[in-house]
Structure 1
Amino acid sequence: MHRALSRIAVPLAAASVLIAAPAYAQGPANDGDSRAAGDVPAAADNPGAYGKNDAGGFRNVLPPGQNGLDTLGQILNFRATGALPKHWADQQPLYDGLLYASPTLTDSQVKDYYKDATFGVKKKNRAKTVKPRKGVTILRDKQYGVPRIYGKTRSDTMFGAGYASANDRLFLMDVLRHTGRADLTNFLGGGNLNADANQWQNNAYTEADLKRMLKAPAQGSLKEWNKLRKDVKAYVKGINAYIKAAGKDDALLPGEYAAVGQKLKKWKATDVMSVATLFGGIFGRGGGAEVTSAQILRALEARFGVEQGRAIWTGFRSKNNPTAPTTIPESFPYQTGDSFAPKGLALPDPGTSVTPWKVISGDSSSSALAAADDSASVGDAIQKEQLDGHHSNWELLSAKNSANGRPLGVLGPQVGYYLPQVLMELELHGPGIDARGASFPGVSMYVQLGRGRDYTFSATSAGSDNVDTFAEVLCDGSKYKYTYKGKCRKMEKLVRNLAWAPNAIDKTPAGKAKLKVYRTVHGLVTHYGTVNGKKVAYATARTTYLHEADSIMGFRRFNEPDRMSSPKKFQQSASKIQFTFNWAFQNAKHTAYYLSGAYPERAKGTSPDFPVLGTGKYDWQGFDPKNYTMDLLAPERHPQTKNQAVMVSWNNKPAKDWSASDRQWGFGPFYRSNLIEEKLQTAVSGGKKATLAQVVQAMEESATQDIRAAKVLPTVFEAMGTVSDPELTAAIDKLKAWMADGGHRRDLDKDGAFEHTAAIQILDAWWPKLLTAQFESGLGTEAFSEIQNMISFGAVSSRPSAPGFSDGWWGYSLQDLQRVQTGAPVPGGFPVAFCGNGDKTACSTALQDSLKQALTVTPEQLYGAGACVTDPQPSCWNANRARVTAGVTAPSVYPFQNRPTFQQAVSVGR
């Protein structure tokens, strides 16, 4: 994200006594809570029966392990002996092992890398049973410790989900609720100030706002919503029952609380909302970069004139590149209007500056930001997930293309790597609910990505456009008043006061700061500028703002068998999710897809790409400022299909004519999804039938490929023409040998170095120099730099990080070189050629010179920073590194794979 893969070590003060603590200890028999009236007792008995209500065929993996509870005694024991708590990292070998088995993977080996995810636990494999209150039974298996929660009533099941979640992730849940509220600095220390500022800028909410979210949804049945509220209430009671028990029993208390000097505090329903705002704001939004896009446009217009500048902007924008790969081939038009429509257009005036709003103030803020190490900020790590290119994917093959006659699926979300993991696994059973899979702690009353009785469901972040920017025209000579529907109105000021002291985790000197943003009827102010000579404040409007809780309705339905019995019912359930996700569904007969999200109907005739005036005349259709509701795109207009032969989503373009959001400029002539889809299409070509192992293999082989080697370098070499320099020839030979071997970044022989390390180093050094040689002189320095503010090169970053190969300049490079080579326009490409100003010889010279420069770059210059100072090579630099929020700090480094964090391998049936 890009990515600052960071970690926290928790150095605890020496203690004279080691506290012996079981991995899972039983809590109180009853906390005195009575079940809500109206709960219907469950008909099922025999909690834990293995395979009950289970169609079979489900496997999954979620590294490093289920357990996230490390007591003070366990932390000290780890520091003394290196011993890990039980179930701390027992799934990591499965996850890592697939990397090495992938090239020759067989069906019989799939079980070695994905654990059994069947409902229930075999009697011989049952660990100690916990009954935190009457009506609730929590079983765990001996092998991996995954909790199976059984409730006599639905509220019992929700209570059990809260209790088990707190058992496995209590300290992390505390971190998440504070991050969502933008007061993590108060909890963990001053190193999180920047993260709190980012959260406050994008998702500032008052306590009243969080309470308001729970009252009623923007759309849907109030009766169903009231049931959901009861679920949340019971879930919170379960969390608090565990907190009460942990306050009396050190064997249940995470040791990290001692490190930060914090006490246990009860949960509230608004804490659940806080966590929902955090993850919805990170993974479920798209767009909102209209101001940056406008600045790029102005730079291009200044360089090339208005007409040519706009044409070049359109080429880089890649809004609807006709050659872009899509998950489904059908057309679902959205936001296809004129980008430059003059109606309400609010571009910043040429030659004027746009000033970002400064969120942080206070005497200590500057010193805190200077002293803080963002590699030690949990908040920064979580915030940066929004920018991370290391994202989710899923692959589905229809029954007709499957060797066993049933659909095949490999599916999962990529949410980064944490210790303990920021996802947790649980299994839920009660009246109307049967599900198992992964959830975010703090909102884990439902399985959010997983399986039901006879179906599976998963998602990738779509990033489709649910955020717009409005230019509020200022009035009364004030920065904090604006004109709306003919009246001069005051902006609402939202303030968060922060104070911190050094602790064992964060040594930032004590201080105070204030976070401040202003809110208009449209949203939070992000920038100030000038439009048509008038001063404006740019405010972002997000359809899910103040409605983060609404999406919970869809997740609730995913866990209910009656709501997921067919592709149609799945799509209806997915349509209740307001966050922007690509949802996959699979059962024993069918596969299906649906793009969820609350997408606004913009004012007719206005630009879908740039800011528009916020005077009220150009609001979203049906916009109601009081309730923050608007007209939304009808469900039937969302991209969707069923039983397509091969479907792949790796955060790529969903469908033809579904415009990329204004923040997404990377949907060019190819995308990383091509790497997987091409392998699957080969597997089923000519009437062949594929196996589950082949689907797994298509995913895993693509997880280590460098997209530049696979898709760009062949055209680069063609454009270079004849190369006579022996040094360049030798370098090209190394690159071609690596490409012939698949262009992987992996270490199959486990000798500590990637195969073809020399070639990888050459490309890593060459890539930014190649792009600079290709584009800078033609674009001019200002425009060249501005475009990088929207979409980076995809080059080696400034600190060790794993590459995502999602968005970069590879499509730009390819299409520009194709135009130079052919001398003709390329579909979806630029109106002019940049490399060598279109001259083949000049382009060849520029490319060869850039490679010559790259060969002078040393490994130390490329990779000799951070954790790789003593091991400057790509295998170190690209390793997946966990963000550690625990006192037990291992394992924290894993071999590179661009693969989902939680992953299922499924063919429903026995």
Structure 2
Amino acid sequence: MRIRISKLRTVAAAALIALGTTLVLPLPQAANAATTTDYCQSQCSDILPPGENGNATLAQILLNQTLGIEPSHAEDQLGPYANLATGYQTLTNSTISNFFNDSSFGVTSSQVASTETPRSDVTIVRDKATGVPHITGTTRSGTEYGAGYAAGEDRLWMMDLFRHVGRGNLTSFAGGALANQGLEQEFYRVAPYTEADLQAQIDYISANNGTRGTQALADAQSYIDGINAYIDASDSGRYFPGEYVLTGHKDSITNAGTIDHFKLTDLIALASVIGALFGSGGGGEVQNAVSLLDAQQQYGVTAGTKAWESFRERNDPEAVLTVHDGSSFPYATEPASPQGEALPDSGSVTEEPLLYNKTGSAATSTASAASAAAAVTSLTAQKTGMSNALVVSGAHTASGHPVAVFGPQTGYFAPQLLMLEELQGPGISSRGAAFAGLSMYVELGRGQDYSWSATSAMQDVTDTYAVQLCTDDYHYLYHGTCTAMEKLTQTNAWTPTTADSTAAGGYTMVVYRTKYGLVQDRATIGGVKVAYTSLRTSYMHEADSIVGFQMLNDPGYVTSPATFQSAASHINYTFNWFYVDSTHTAYYNSGNNPVRATGVAADLPVWGQPAYEWSGWDPVTNAATYTPAAQHPQSVDQDYYISWNNKQAKDYDSAGFGYGSVHRASLLDARVKKLVAAGGVTRALLVKAMSDASLTDLRAEDVLPDILRVINSQTVTDSSLATAVSQLTAWVTAGSKRTETSAGSQTYANATAIQTLDAWWPLLVKAEFQPGLGSDLYTALTGDLTIDESPSTAHGPTGSHAGSSFQYGWWSYVDKDLRSVLGDTVSGGLSQSYCGSGSLSACRDTLLSTLKTAIGESAATVYPGDTTCSAGAQWCADSIVQRTLGGIKHYNISWQNRPTFQQVVEFPAHR
């Protein structure tokens, strides 16, 4: 989807990797930039496409749309990022700068592009190469003021969108486009906060975090002051973002209209978007219950439960682990005797309506289901998978110092959701990336002699409760008393503007809130009416983690792996955190993991009754007792760490399905393990391993060989099938890559084999599993885990043109099933064989019949085309699009499955 100037339906998007709790410590005063030593010694690099500049005046937008002229630094990081796909094979340490920026502290005098002093206690210097703001404050308040001012300069329009998405009123602000409707509906359903709720979260930080909490709020206020100062300056100078004119908020002739100032509650609203996108895990218990019941109906209770558990793969012995030294970190494990389960009556589950018309009755969205899904998938899908990390200890590197290549995969947007910055001031010394509008601290980046990054962990911190209804559909039993649900509403209306040609319209969104969380579904249990609610530990605590990020930016606090892990433990969102300095590496899994009642199964709904509540849970604040830091997966100086949203450690249950023998993390693990075994790892070698994995089709590398073994168990006599098998074999032999024949060719090597697998995979999976599972159970399990997520599939959770691929699919199921049919030893296998009912010959027939169908499909059928690509355009179907969030657009680039912001670091020295 591309948003053009004629119909600027601004798509809003995410915010901070935001934020966890408590610690009362005096804040040490660090040296300012003038005396800061950079211990990375030019061996730290980063990249963030398309460019640092995310603001454009009306004139710049018109020039871009009509002539393709880019504002300065709006696109200068896109080319180097894209070029790694064809340039990585010959990469050396000395050529890393061809594909990454130098992320050293400071700017040499010859590289200063501009210097400004928005207040007497802060200076913002921008470099010529990238336009990144280097902010130096003589006071802490000045440093944060400068951070806010620079954020306004680079992302004001996007920040304004964020705060409206977080409040569920995007359409009222930016128009009634389908994209806007889909976004505000998606986020309001999971975080429908009132202004009082937003203020309560600020008050909670102040009351529960001592000195650091007080300082964090002071930092945030200075940051907001800086944003507002830029709003005033750009308004009076008429260089504010042109999107304000295009959406009717400002008049280009008279300058009439206003750009509202920011306030603290806006930051909480921004953080709530990130809470939904990147920092949550769990949920889906009702869907799990539906598939479990279908399995029990298909096979009987005992056999059905066993079958369901085999697909659940909650502790698969073949899964790739981040902590692979055998350490066990039990969490959310399957109880021997489940208590309090609240499974719905078959066929009784209905989703709670969100939209209501003017009469107060439930209404259908004015955005079609397909259009709404297409509008939001590029953002909301990121919560299902993002980011990777490759970290090697000094014992296995050429220099003897640890090496890391890591970063978050936050999607591709114009402007980017993240922004780059350097912060230097009392108690702050950092450089890296932060979400626009929440950049008072660097969230992923580096300090003076250490660097850190994160991947989404997604462990289960969200539970579903069944509350029994009483009186009517809007009262429920709470501790034996019939209690009214709280009705939360947001009414939006829009009228056409210069940039929005949709007809005038509007609707009211309604969410019902109980003590046990937000109503998501309704059903019956034993004929009794219930509402299913969703409760996550980060709800009403979207910004608590501000203290953890404050610590990560504090050179006086982070001095070792232990202090890094302590800082990360104050982040209440579910992330895997990685650390390197000149001597050590470390890992820590963050998140407020609730202590569940004995016997409660974390992945199925339970009754909303005192016996099944979280330990220490306070329904007023939604605070509870959380598992102690020592019980979270963690490690120091393991030989290497990899993460690509995979299972963290033995016995630690990653919420949901898909953590089995084949996972996209397998691509990283195989390559880094090989490097470590050889020794002498360098930055260039680790980047090459990452890039090689980023261009590989997971299905082709790790599953297709098993498929071909089954087929080749007999001679293929059909000439067309023999040709297809030969092409697929050649592709596997060549490395299973989806890469161009040459740079810029926009044509894939092994193109026919790639098209064949793209067409074949969904046919193969259905034919392999549906006969044995039955139609109902097969459909239910595909609701738990989508079958495919190749780069070109718009039906997968990531959507098309989003880069991120192969996080979710039935790779492991096919792998285990076919190995079983072949007679291989399979640890943690499925409860029965499915392909050909276990017969090798019958399985082979199934594979060949579906292959015959696949090779008969045209390119236009496999790659049906969209607003970016014509039907049948294979390379284009895979390509990455910088989805426009404003008026500036960019070219699409060749597919790479890699982080959006990425660091390459090796520290040769330490304080």
* TM-score over 0.5 (shorter chain): yes
Structure 2 residues without counterparts, runs of 5 or longer: 9-25, 250-257
Give the corresponding residue for 1:368: 366
Give the corresponding residue for 1:815: 816
User: In the aligned structure 2, how far is the partner of 1:7 from the partner of 1:203?
Assistant: 27
User: In the aligned structure 2, how far is the partner of 1:829 from the partner of 1:12?
Assistant: 52
Give the corresponding residue for 2:705: 714
User: In the aligned structure 1, how far is the partner of 2:732 from the partner of 2:800?
Assistant: 24
1:383/1:371 Cα in 2 relative to 1: closer, same or farther (>3 Å)? closer
Give the corresponding residue for 2:22: none
User: In the aligned structure 2, how far is the partner of 1:258 from the partner of 1:375?
Assistant: 28
User: In the aligned structure 1, how far is the partner of 2:584 from the partner of 2:454?
Assistant: 17
Deviations 1:53-75 (A, max 9, x none): 76552111111111011101111
User: In the aligned structure 1, how far is the partner of 2:280 from the partner of 2:446?
Assistant: 24
Q: What is the RMSD of the two structures over their aligned residues, measured on CA atoms? A: 2.1
Matches for 1:739-888 after TM superposition, within 5 Å: 739-749=732-742, 750-795=744-789, 796-798=793-795, 800-801=800-801, 802=803, 804-822=805-823, 826-867=826-867, 870=870, 872-888=872-888
1:502/1:895 Cα in 2 relative to 1: closer, same or farther (>3 Å)? same
Deviations 1:181-200 (A, max 9, x none): 11111112222222212111
User: In the aligned structure 1, how far is the partner of 2:365 from the partner of 2:483?
Assistant: 36
Structure 1 position 339, deviation (Å)? 5.4
Matched, 1:91 2:77: yes
1:376/1:806 Cα in 2 relative to 1: closer, same or farther (>3 Å)? closer
SS in 1 for 2:134: strand
**Is contact 1:177–1:275 with CA below 8 Å preserved after alignment?**
yes
Alignment size in residue pairs: 868
Matched, 1:489 2:475: no
Structure 1 position 267, deviation (Å)? 0.4
Letter in 1 for 2:285: E
**Is contact 1:218–1:629 with CA below 8 Å preserved after alignment?**
no
Structure 1 position 444, deviation (Å)? 0.8
Letter in 1 for 2:691: E
SS in 2 for 1:594: strand
SS in 1 for 2:556: helix
- Aligned pair partner of 2:696 in 693, 696, 705: 705
Letter in 2 for 1:909: P
- Aligned pair partner of 1:163 in 139, 149, 162: 149
**Is contact 1:341–1:607 with CA below 8 Å preserved after alignment?**
no
User: In the aligned structure 2, how far is the partner of 1:110 from the partner of 1:842?
Assistant: 51
Matched, 1:588 2:582: yes
Matched, 1:514 2:500: no
The 10-residue stretch of structure 1 (331-340 or 522-531) with the greater mean CA deviation from structure 2 = 331-340
- Aligned pair partner of 1:571 in 565, 576, 597: 565
User: In the aligned structure 1, how far is the partner of 2:684 from the partner of 2:443?
Assistant: 25
Structure 1 position 334, deviation (Å)? 3.1
User: In the aligned structure 2, how far is the partner of 1:43 from the partner of 1:840?
Assistant: 69
Matches for 1:401-800 after TM superposition, within 5 Å: 401-476=396-471, 478-661=472-655, 664-686=656-678, 688-720=679-711, 721-722=713-714, 723-749=716-742, 750-795=744-789, 796-798=793-795, 800=800
User: In the aligned structure 2, how far is the partner of 1:668 from the partner of 1:519?
Assistant: 36
User: In the aligned structure 2, how far is the partner of 1:525 from the partner of 1:583?
Assistant: 32
**Is contact 1:339–1:608 with CA below 8 Å preserved after alignment?**
no
Structure 1 position 220, deviation (Å)? 5.5
User: In the aligned structure 1, how far is the partner of 2:822 from the partner of 2:830?
Assistant: 14
Deviations 1:401-444 (A, max 9, x none): 11011100001000000001111001101101000000001111
- Aligned pair partner of 1:117 in 83, 103, 115: 103
1:233/1:813 Cα in 2 relative to 1: closer, same or farther (>3 Å)? same
**Is contact 1:40–1:154 with CA below 8 Å preserved after alignment?**
no
Letter in 1 for 2:210: L
1:560/1:372 Cα in 2 relative to 1: closer, same or farther (>3 Å)? same
Matched, 1:257 2:248: no
**Is contact 1:50–1:121 with CA below 8 Å preserved after alignment?**
no
Give the corresponding residue for 1:385: 382
SS in 1 for 2:507: strand
User: In the aligned structure 2, how far is the partner of 1:372 from the partner of 1:831?
Assistant: 36
Give the corresponding residue for 1:19: none
Letter in 1 for 2:148: G
User: In the aligned structure 2, how far is the partner of 1:376 from the partner of 1:685?
Assistant: 44
SS in 1 for 2:196: helix
Matches for 1:127-146 after TM superposition, within 5 Å: 127-146=113-132
Letter in 1 for 2:830: F
Give the corresponding residue for 1:276: 271
Structure 1 residues without counterparts, runs of 5 or longer: 1-5, 14-37
Deviations 1:22-55 (A, max 9, x none): xxxxxxxxxxxxxxxx999986375xx8965765
Deviations 1:672-728 (A, max 9, x none): 112122112212325x21111110000000001000100001111112221221111
1:372/1:361 Cα in 2 relative to 1: closer, same or farther (>3 Å)? farther
Give the corresponding residue for 2:181: 193
Letter in 2 for 1:711: D
Deviations 1:323-375 (A, max 9, x none): 111001233333454358442110112x3320100011115964731499559
Give the corresponding residue for 2:330: 334
1:39/1:639 Cα in 2 relative to 1: closer, same or farther (>3 Å)? closer
User: In the aligned structure 1, how far is the partner of 2:640 from the partner of 2:520?
Assistant: 42
The 10-residue stretch of structure 1 (527-536 or 628-637) with the greater mean CA deviation from structure 2 = 527-536
Matches for 1:242-321 after TM superposition, within 5 Å: 242-251=230-239, 253-262=240-249, 263-321=258-316
Letter in 2 for 1:896: W
- Aligned pair partner of 2:94 in 77, 101, 108: 108
**Is contact 2:428–2:555 with CA below 8 Å preserved after alignment?**
yes
Give the corresponding residue for 2:21: none
**Is contact 2:282–2:603 with CA below 8 Å preserved after alignment?**
no
1:301/1:647 Cα in 2 relative to 1: closer, same or farther (>3 Å)? same
User: In the aligned structure 2, how far is the partner of 1:675 from the partner of 1:372?
Assistant: 32
1:73/1:50 Cα in 2 relative to 1: closer, same or farther (>3 Å)? farther
User: In the aligned structure 2, how far is the partner of 1:219 from the partner of 1:394?
Assistant: 35
SS in 2 for 1:411: strand
Give the corresponding residue for 2:341: 345
Q: Which runs of 4+ in 1 moved over 6 A?
A: 38-42
Letter in 2 for 1:385: Q
User: In the aligned structure 2, how far is the partner of 1:751 from the partner of 1:700?
Assistant: 19
1:739/1:549 Cα in 2 relative to 1: closer, same or farther (>3 Å)? same
SS in 2 for 1:173: helix
User: Share of identical aligned residues, percent?
Assistant: 38
**Is contact 2:332–2:460 with CA below 8 Å preserved after alignment?**
no
User: In the aligned structure 1, how far is the partner of 2:308 from the partner of 2:29?
Assistant: 61
**Is contact 1:55–1:454 with CA below 8 Å preserved after alignment?**
no
1:336/1:438 Cα in 2 relative to 1: closer, same or farther (>3 Å)? closer
- Aligned pair partner of 1:240 in 213, 217, 228: 228
The 10-residue stretch of structure 1 (645-654 or 220-229) with the greater mean CA deviation from structure 2 = 220-229
1:337/1:584 Cα in 2 relative to 1: closer, same or farther (>3 Å)? closer
SS in 1 for 2:329: strand
Structure 1 position 80, deviation (Å)? 3.8
Matched, 1:214 2:209: no
Structure 1 position 217, deviation (Å)? 3.6
Give the corresponding residue for 2:213: 225
User: In the aligned structure 1, how far is the partner of 2:582 from the partner of 2:347?
Assistant: 60
**Is contact 2:859–2:871 with CA below 8 Å preserved after alignment?**
no
**Is contact 1:216–1:225 with CA below 8 Å preserved after alignment?**
no
Structure 1 position 300, deviation (Å)? 1.1
**Is contact 1:592–1:640 with CA below 8 Å preserved after alignment?**
yes
